[in-house]
Amino acid sequence: MGFLSFGKKQNFLTHDETARIVQSIRDAEKKTSGEVRVYVESRCKYLNAVDRAAEIFWQLQMDRTLHRNGILVYVASLDHQAAIWGDDGIHQKTGELFWKEEVDKLLALFRGNAYADGIRLVVDDLGETLHQYFPYEAKTDKNELPDDIVFGD
């Protein structure tokens, strides 16, 4: 639902950066019934990162959340591509412009080699938006998807 390109970096995320991103995911999900996942791989198997993000979204079974409010942040580090894919429930609330704006924020930070900061900023924004439309429900909420970053090939 959004696309960007960014400059090359040999070591994409350190262990500490990975831990901080996972914590950002957990913090974002404390405010919402929605789910956020991050997927990082070196190469995009398609020309269009949005198509790859959609494929990964379905492979990770992110469409199985109760409110259809899962969001995937996809990054292909060596191919300089990224995309954000939101399930139907959240996409219907935000529209296409929201995804473009989030990808633009990610792009701006990636251009400055602030990869972890870019992902964390977007995860925070996604959490706020999910909170607006799908607030945390103390009695019924459960963590429907793992919070860890998925690293592909």
Token code pair at residue 129 = 């938006």
pLDDT at 6 over 60: no
Quick: pLDDT tens for 26-50. 999 999 999 999 999 989 887 789 9
C-alpha to C-alpha distance for 67 and 121, rounded to whole angstroms? 24
* Residue 114 in domain: yes
Specify the DSSP class assigned to residue 135: B
Q: The pTM is what?
A: 0.90
| Number of structural domains found in the chain | 1
How far is the C-alpha of 14 from the C-alpha of 107, rounded, in Å? 19
* Residue 148 forms part of a structural domain: no
Q: Is residue 105 predicted with pLDDT exceeding 50?
A: yes
Residue 22: CB atoms within 10 Å: 16
pLDDT band at 116 (very low <50, low <70, confident <90, very high): very high
Please indicate, yes or no, if residue 142 is contained in any of the structural domains. Answer: no
In a domain, 144, yes or no: no
